[in-house]
Each structure stands twice: as C-alpha cells, then as structure tokens.
Amino acid sequence: MVDGPRPPRPAAPHRPRNGGRHGVRLRGGFVGENLAQDGFQFRDDVYAFDGDAWTRAGSMPTPLGETVALSVDGRVHLVTGSLHGERTGPTGTHLVYNPDTDDWTEARPAPTARSSATGAVIDGMLYVAGGRTTQNGVTNLGALECYDPASDTWTERRSLPQPSGGLNGAATGGTLYVFGGEYFSDGGGVFGETWAYDPAADDWTELPSMPTPRHGLAGVALNGRVYAVGGNTAPGIGAATSSTVEALVPAAT
C-alpha cells in the first residue's frame, strides 16, 4: 500500500547496512559526488528510523563501508568491509552493537579481509561469503567463513565456486542463497548466477540464474522466498541502476 511520500534519509551513503530488532537503523557506508576526484568518503554515522522520521543515533567506533550486517541474539554484527585512513582497504574488522546498552565491542576478526561480501544467519551461526580485495587491482573472492558467537571463533567452509564481489544473499529453510556480483577482468561484467549452500553437507549447488544480472543489490528472505532487489546491471558504481525486484522460490525439500 502506498500512503504518500516517506521522510528522506539524512544522508545517502553507498552500501550502508541495517539490522536489529530495535527498529530500522543504517550504519556506515561511503559518499562522494566525484569519486575520481575525492575518493571514497567513509562514514561512521548511525541513523534510526521510527516510522515517521530519521534521527542521528550515534556513531560507529570507526568509519566502515561495504560491510556485512547480521543480527543474532539481540546483537548486530558488522563483519568485514572497507576502511579509510591509516588502514585504508579491505578488512576483517568485526564490530558488535548492543542496542539495549547502545554500546559497541570488538569480536574476533574474520580470517579473510575483504569488502563487498554477503552473509546470513543460520541456526545462530553467522556465514560470510564472497567479496573482494583491492590491493594490486580488484580480485574477487570465494571464501566462505562461519562465526560462532558463543565461542567467538571462525571456521573456514567450502568456498563459493564462483568468486564474486558486490553480490548479495539471504537464508531461508536452513540454506544460504547468494546471487549476483560484478567482475572487472576481460572488460568487466555482471554475474547473474545463483548458488545455494547447505551447511550440513558443506556444499554448494548452482541454481537458475537471476533473469536480470546485477551487482550492488539487496537480498532478503520473506515467507520462504528469496528476493533480489535493485542494484546495477553494469559494472561500476551507479553505472546502470535498476529498480528490478525478482523472487527465487526454492524447491521443496
């Protein structure tokens, strides 16, 4: 239902992350009207939306963009991403936000430093897949790592068969689904492939591709379906933005 215009966000950072049970919150991201001239301007902002208006709700311990935000046990985990400043580049940083106390803590970093990855929570465990590094050129990664909040430990799992950065994903029915992404080799392009990961078997299965290949998109699971929302249909930031929404209906098991 459309009930009129919604209040605008106070800022429009690229790839901010939300998550948590205390309403909608946006964290981090980067801005820049002229990236070639000014570069990425990473943000530490946290904004909260109460249904009517956005308000500033504090700051992250460090500016962080292109991160993965996952919510489990009432905490929001920001894992991997891009740093700016003295430690510019992809990182394994792992920040944890407690909305009840409005406090940030650091957890064990992810083994693989990367940005533009994706992830989901399955049975209380955090899974982070794909992403890329930007040292000596852009290199896509297939690394899949699993974090156990109870023991603060990471475990390496079977890598994504098709390394990809700028992908997204979601989990439903105990399965992780990832899709999309971009690459810059051989002239560059956009992935449409979709993959399903079974944690019990530690194995990936290729599924039908998205009808509209995209990167920088959103992924969400709702009522047993997985939705791929928006993104870009050509490699690069804002190259060919899309409002497309497509749904994957997983096969019954």
Question: Is residue 84 included in any domain, yes or no?
Answer: no
Domain range spanning residue 176? 110-248
Report the number of distinct structural domains present in the chain.
1
Give pLDDT, residue 3. Answer: 35
Give pLDDT, residue 253. Answer: 56
Cα–Cα distance, 166 to 182 (Å, whole number):
6
Question: Is residue 124 included in any domain, yes or no?
Answer: yes
Question: Is residue 103 included in any domain, yes or no?
Answer: no
Give pLDDT, residue 29. Answer: 57
Question: Is residue 68 included in any domain, yes or no?
Answer: no
Give pLDDT, residue 7. Answer: 43
> CB burial class (10 A; 0-12, 13-18, 19+) of residue 219?
buried
Give pLDDT, residue 30. Answer: 52
Question: Is residue 100 included in any domain, yes or no?
Answer: no
Closest CA to 65 of 24, 109, 26, 115: 115
Question: Is residue 71 included in any domain, yes or no?
Answer: no
- The CATH number of whichever domain residue 181 belongs to comes to 2.120.10.80
Mean pLDDT per 10-residue segment, the chain (253 residues): 38 46 54 51 81 87 90 95 77 93 95 97 98 91 98 98 98 98 94 98 98 96 97 87 96 72
Question: Is residue 41 included in any domain, yes or no?
Answer: no
pTM of the model: 0.86
Cα–Cα distance, 140 to 45 (Å, whole number):
28
Question: Is residue 151 included in any domain, yes or no?
Answer: yes
